[in-house]
Chain A
């Protein structure tokens, strides 16, 4: 089995590290070797956050090589664009349609790109997108739901790992968000 490489990207506060840990735990429960890698500190300060998750029979490097990611989970549009170079040419982007404009952005030098989804598609990537407006607190879990449709883990593993990863009073909300993501992905495939 080829190692599966998933890159998560977004802005601090969106729950990227939580999402990547959930995926890592799910892969581990499914019996795979797994490595997850992240950088700390920028999350609280509105900076870019990325994390790498790799799972398979044998995994050595904790970092994904350029052009080797199977999936790019982009919780924010700009951060998604910033990291497309990680993707395989036929890689898939799971995109949360959300723009967080950097406070120091200078529109004359580098404007925030307009239509991120079309731009990504024009580069040849498959894109599953969703808009989590109104559910910002669980947008990371909705997006996990979409991703889960493309991975081989049984639902039972996710339904075990998610409750053990979130505060107990939010378990129901998170499971509902996860199922919503799965429904979105299923509807799109149909």
Chain B
């Protein structure tokens, strides 16, 4: 906690300057103003809040949060092997009394949800902020799930910024709130906050918390004897969370006699302001809130819109207090795809990137993403296609582009690490020549248990690990296979072959995908063989080579 209450108050006010109008801004504390992306701003906010650790797994649009911290922070910033480990590591730092930021994309929270749910029950020591980047319209994801539900499910507070300045401010606020309530706090951003740049006023970096390792068995050991008491404590905190929110000014009504209004959450507020001053605005940046706030806002309004990215989370509440609510449930706003700024315009298509070219007299050729020229996956797929597997269960990475023309060789993609498990499930139904394709990073993330399982439970599958020494799709991040850490220094290193052999498989072979003929022969033989066989297709991502040669 900060040293004195006076310092705390003035520093707190400084951070609140964006939405508590008239608060005195202490110029001598300002260093600079910079154009930052929302991701950068969250990273900057975490550093300014005095973190001792940042953990993450790459995932668009969250990746740049950890990258910013790794570049600008002298302390510890790591690419964890997956989001569950990232979150648990952050919990460890919290138990040592230190502040930690854990960042990930929305589907990453699915992976981290086990420790998240129980950490909320037990409570925390040092502040822990979970920064989540949702992807409305799923520009780079498998779904467009809404992370606010996780905050509600876990009974933790959620702050939702509408631009970079707020992303920075709310990250700092989140750390203070986390320590005040002894809970993880979510900061929920979306693509149009994460990858949008706007000015941010930098503030001085606060000191890190001192080391203070706690032993508190009643609140650190989740066993049946502790659960009901912890659950009770968590429930009691909910009232405090609502009260804190009401006093914070994070949710505000901007009303001046208008008869129409917009309830605007997060980025929705940025879009709502474009329709000023015709519409009164209820700005929502904090959950949970007292529903009377909504009731008060909609009173007397002849038309109420709800602007929110994701599911009609707030709209459902609003509908209890007004029969004039327009949004995703009533159908005026598309229930899928991102909100976009054109919400109240006549032709409301939700995704600005998929606009029909109705202005033009002819259809235009599309330009889908393709594998880079010279990509090793391309050569590998030539070989795989030639040997005609019965089914190729795919996974997540650049290699998922093998589902598109000209290859169309990947038959499924579900979530991280699922390729191997799906293949095993199919093969166990008696289907022969079933293959699984998975990248090296995805394999380390969550493929290992699936590989052990396939051998242990006797599935006959061919597991193809495409090892390009990189988490390529997200921008070539390093992994334990390369032995370089997020800060660019040497870390521990593991061997893919050794891991596969240790998983109890029948064989492990390595092949160079540029040798298409040799690969074809090998794949064909292995597809027919009984047991679990691994073929590692090994060649560096060409972007990694390009970067290394610069």
Contact = CB atoms under 8 A, between A and B. Distances in A.
Interface in A17-38: 21, 24-25, 28, 33-38
B85 interface: no
B510 interface: no
Given A34-B199, A46-B369, A41 B473 contact: yes
B35 A110 contact: no
B365 interface: yes
B365 A105 contact: yes
Contacts of A104: 365-368, 370, 404-406
B196 A37 contact: yes
A48 to B, nearest CB: 5
A36 B196 contact: yes
A62 B351 CA distance: 14
Nearest to A53: B197
Contact of B274 (A65, A109, A112): A65
Contacts of B366: 102, 104-105, 110
Contact of A111 (B270, B365, B369): B365
B193 to A, nearest CB: 8
B5 interface: no
A40 interface: yes
B287 interface: no
B369 A45 contact: yes
A134 interface: no
A85 B369 contact: no
B357 to A, nearest CB: 6
Interface in B363-416: 363-372, 398, 401, 404-406
A59 B162 CA distance: 12
A133 interface: no
B359 interface: yes
Contacts of B273: 60-61
B506 to A, nearest CB: 35
Interface in A62-83: 62-66, 78-79, 81-82
Interface string B257-278: 0000000000101110110000
A50 B352 CA distance: 11
Nearest to A25: B35
B353 A39 contact: yes
Contacts of A11: 367
Nearest to A45: B369
B401 to A, nearest CB: 7
A21 B198 CA distance: 11
Contacts of B502: none
A154 interface: no
B522 interface: no
B355 interface: yes
B195 interface: yes
A105 B405 CA distance: 11
Contact of A62 (B163, B358, B370): B163
Contacts of A24: 35, 197
A172 to B, nearest CB: 20
A73 to B, nearest CB: 17
Contact of B61 (A40, A81, A119): A40
B362 A62 contact: no
A78 B360 CA distance: 12
A78 B364 contact: yes
Contact of B364 (A36, A66, A81): A81
Contacts of B473: 41
Contacts of A81: 357, 360, 364
B274 A61 contact: yes
A106 interface: yes
Interface string B209-244: 000000000000000000000000000000000000
A67 to B, nearest CB: 8
Interface string A130-146: 00000000000000000
Nearest to B269: A60
Interface in B118-142: 139-140
Given A35-B197, A39-B191, A62 B270 contact: yes
Contacts of B371: 45
B543 A44 contact: yes
B497 interface: no
A61 B340 CA distance: 9
B278 to A, nearest CB: 14
A37 B192 contact: yes
Contact of A110 (B192, B362, B474): B362
B195 A28 contact: no
Contacts of A62: 163, 192-193, 196, 198, 267, 270
A84 interface: yes
Given A45-B371, A46-B370, A62-B270, A33 B199 contact: yes
Nearest to B352: A63
Interface in B258-310: 267, 269-271, 273-274
Nearest to A42: B369
Contacts of A123: 359-360
Nearest to A11: B367
26 contacts: A21-B197, A33-B199, A34-B35, A34-B199, A36-B197, A40-B61, A40-B140, A40-B195, A41-B139, A45-B370, A45-B398, A61-B273, A62-B163, A62-B270, A63-B340, A66-B342, A66-B347, A81-B357, A85-B355, A102-B368, A104-B367, A105-B366, A106-B365, A109-B363, A110-B363, A119-B360
Given A63-B340, A81-B364, 18 more contacts: A21-B197, A35-B196, A36-B198, A41-B369, A46-B367, A47-B368, A47-B369, A61-B270, A62-B193, A63-B352, A65-B341, A82-B357, A84-B357, A84-B360, A102-B365, A102-B366, A109-B363, A119-B360
The 4 closest A-B pairs by CB, nearest first: A62-B196, A60-B273, A45-B369, A105-B365
